[in-house]
Amino acid sequence: MDPDLLLAALAVISVTAIIARTVVKIANMRLSAGPSDDLQARVEELEGTVRGLQQELVETQERLDFAERLLAKGSGTQAPP
């Protein structure tokens, strides 16, 4: 095999490895830095929305239970046809 070709291939592999390692280091640094302020604000907004929806669901379930009790009470007093 041609020594120049082997040297060129080795250089390309080395440069590629250095670039790949640098990319991995940068990615790890970004991940360890935590979420950005914008992302954190959006998550907090969504959490508030979910809490509001949960409260609405609880109120709706209470109303449904009340309506079911009224219907059950009303159907027991009706005379059969």
* pTM to 2 decimal places: 0.49
Check if the beta carbon of residue 50 is closer than 8 Å to that of residue 58. Answer: no
Chain segment 50-65, per-residue pLDDT in tens:
999 999 999 999 999 9
Q: What percent of the chain has pLDDT over 90?
A: 46
| N- to C-terminal Cα separation, the chain | 102
Higher pLDDT, 23 or 79: 23
Give the integer Cα–Cα distance in Å for 56 and 68: 18
Chain segment 9-42, per-residue pLDDT in tens:
889 999 999 999 999 998 888 877 777 788 889 9
Look up residue 55 and give its amino acid. Answer: Q
